[in-house]
């Protein structure tokens, strides 16, 4: 059937492997992989990009090697997408931490990027998405995805190296989350110490009645004052993301 249509088996396998890499990457990417993004548009982008990239791929593999190729492609695609997605995981973690220490965790919202989240996480996610598109990072990432087929041919990614890289990216989540949430956590900690001293000096003082509104006010104030710092931090991470992508591609998936 395929031969009658002028399609060779290796061409079909190549297209399917390209489709696998592009699909997994887009599923991991922020916004493009969210539930709020139109499925028809996402499918159209994936198919169009896969068809355009298929001529760049030359796959010569037997049927018994397809399973290993699929594993390598899936792992490499996940790591490639995580170089961007890790920032949004860190933002959600930082937002959860800030909401917990300031008492705003009771106000939950459905975040299409993460799932059930807090308003603070959603706010930071919107800032990150705006900055992501303002810096044309989506164009750069699509360019890197296209070049990945030249630097890391289909099925050539090193599984051990990809696993180690994925663990390193996972560790970045906590580092970035701490950096984003450190001002709010520090202010609340100092406030707790001062309120504790005040309670010792004035035992009749209703500390719980005053603490909760104070936490809310300080939380909003710190968030407002640290927006420029957050934007600088996110901008720096997006610059580092380019370096991570280049290193991942230039080393051929082997570190």
DSSP 37-88: S-HHHHHHHHHHHHHHHGGG------GGGHHHHHHHHHHHHHHHHHHHHHHH
| Cα of 220 vs its chain's centroid, Å | 25
pTM of the model: 0.75
User: Does 255 have pLDDT greater than 50?
Assistant: no
* Residues above pLDDT 70, as percent of the chain: 85
pLDDT value, residue 59: 64
CA neighbor of 101 nearest in space, from 206, 174, 184, 183:
184
| Cα of 30 vs its chain's centroid, Å | 6
What's 114's DSSP letter? T
pLDDT digits (tens, 9 = 90+) for 56-81: 776 665 556 677 777 788 888 888 88
* Domains of the chain by residue range: 9-250
pLDDT value, residue 10: 62
Report whether 180 contacts 233 (CB < 8 A). yes
Report whether 57 contacts 21 (CB < 8 A). no
pLDDT value, residue 60: 62
pLDDT digits (tens, 9 = 90+) for 10-41: 667 777 788 888 888 888 877 776 777 777 88
Q: Residue 164: which residues within 8 A CB-CB, separation 6 or more?
A: 255
Higher pLDDT, 229 or 56: 229
């Amino acid at each position: 059937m395929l031969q009658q249509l002028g399609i060779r088996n290796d061409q079909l396998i190549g297209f399917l492997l390209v489709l696998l890499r592009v699909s997994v990457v887009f599923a991991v990417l922020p916004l493009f992989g969210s539930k709020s993004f139109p499925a028809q548009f996402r499918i159209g982008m994936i198919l169009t990009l896969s068809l355009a990239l298929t001529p760049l791929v030359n796959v010569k593999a037997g049927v018994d090697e397809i399973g290993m190729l699929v594993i390598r492609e899936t792992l490499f695609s996940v790591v490639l997408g995580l170089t961007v997605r890790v920032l949004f995981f860190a933002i959600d973690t930082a937002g959860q931490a800030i909401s917990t220490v300031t008492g705003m965790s009771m106000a939950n919202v459905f975040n299409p990027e993460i799932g059930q989240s807090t308003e603070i996480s959603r706010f930071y996610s919107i800032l990150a998405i705006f900055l992501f598109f303002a810096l044309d990072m989506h164009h750069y990432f699509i360019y890197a995805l296209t070049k990945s087929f030249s630097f890391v041919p289909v099925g050539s990614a090193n599984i051990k190296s990809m696993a180690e890289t994925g663990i390193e990216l996972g560790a970045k989540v906590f580092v970035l989350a701490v950096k984003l949430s450190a001002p709010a956590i520090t202010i609340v900690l100092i406030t707790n110490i001062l309120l504790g001293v005040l309670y010792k000096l004035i035992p009749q003082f209703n500390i719980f009645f005053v603490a909760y509104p104070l936490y809310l006010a300080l939380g909003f104030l710190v968030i407002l004052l640290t927006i420029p710092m957050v934007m600088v931090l996110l901008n720096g991470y997006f610059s580092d993301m380019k370096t991570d992508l280049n290193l991942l591609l230039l080393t051929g998936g082997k570190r």
